[in-house]
Amino acid sequence: MKASDIRLSYTDPMTGQAPRSTRYRETQYTDLDGVVLVVRHAHRSRSPLWSAEPYMGHLDSSATAIWTQYLKGEPGGGIIFAHVRRRDLLEQIARAVGTEEWTRGRDAWMRLPRDRWWSGRRFRVVRRAPRQWWALPTDPSRDGERGPWTSEQAALDAIDPNLNSPRGGTT
């Protein structure tokens, strides 16, 4: 994988909405290998640090303690990244995806308990290749992947025909 293959989006793929406040803080999202990473950068701060960590909004409250224990035992930090420059952060992420450490971190992340009352989308639609759109489950323990479809709208229609756009409603 190359850093140029990583596409950052201002739209949260788990809820389909943009972050509420972007004042002094930039928040973007990317979906890599089934893990949604949240990329953050604080504007006008003394720290020029860019960071990326897994999306945590849909986890059970006990998952944070489990994830912290996992990170203590992993020498490389699992799937958490930080760098001074955005370009270097993306290169760091691209080098990590597909490695043994990434696979262990992703598998540990997927085993964390999800909040059963979370009201986000049940699936998020991602593009993996030209004319290949897939629906990835937000809770992999409950659902399997669906697809491929020829367009994003076809995928959304197959998941829930009542959705009018990629940003509307929950599935």
Per-residue pLDDT of the chain (171 residues; tens, 9 = 90+): 888 888 888 888 888 777 776 677 788 998 888 888 999 887 766 667 889 999 988 888 888 888 888 888 777 666 888 888 888 999 999 999 888 888 888 888 888 888 877 767 778 888 888 888 888 887 777 778 888 899 888 888 888 765 544 444 444
Confidence at residue 171, expressed as pLDDT on a 0 to 100 scale:
40
Q: How far is 30 from 136, CA to CA, in rounded Å? A: 13
Residue 131 lies in a domain: yes
Is residue 86 located within the same domain as residue 56? Answer: yes
Confidence at residue 38, expressed as pLDDT on a 0 to 100 scale:
92
Q: Which domain holds residue 138?
A: 123-159
Confidence at residue 46, expressed as pLDDT on a 0 to 100 scale:
66
Residue 167 lies in a domain: no
Rg (CA), the chain: 16
Residue 34 lies in a domain: yes
What are the beta bridge partners of residue 114?
59
Q: How far is 11 from 1, CA to CA, in rounded Å? A: 23
Confidence at residue 84, expressed as pLDDT on a 0 to 100 scale:
84
Is residue 98 located within the same domain as residue 67? Answer: yes
Is residue 7 located within the same domain as residue 76? Answer: yes
- Structural domains in the chain (count): 2
Residue 56 lies in a domain: yes
Is residue 19 located within the same domain as residue 79? Answer: yes
Is residue 73 located within the same domain as residue 137? Answer: no
Q: How far is 66 from 85, CA to CA, in rounded Å? A: 30
Is residue 106 located within the same domain as residue 150? Answer: no
Is residue 96 located within the same domain as residue 59? Answer: yes
Residue 102 lies in a domain: yes
Confidence at residue 169, expressed as pLDDT on a 0 to 100 scale:
42
Confidence at residue 161, expressed as pLDDT on a 0 to 100 scale:
65
Q: How far is 47 from 72, CA to CA, in rounded Å? A: 25
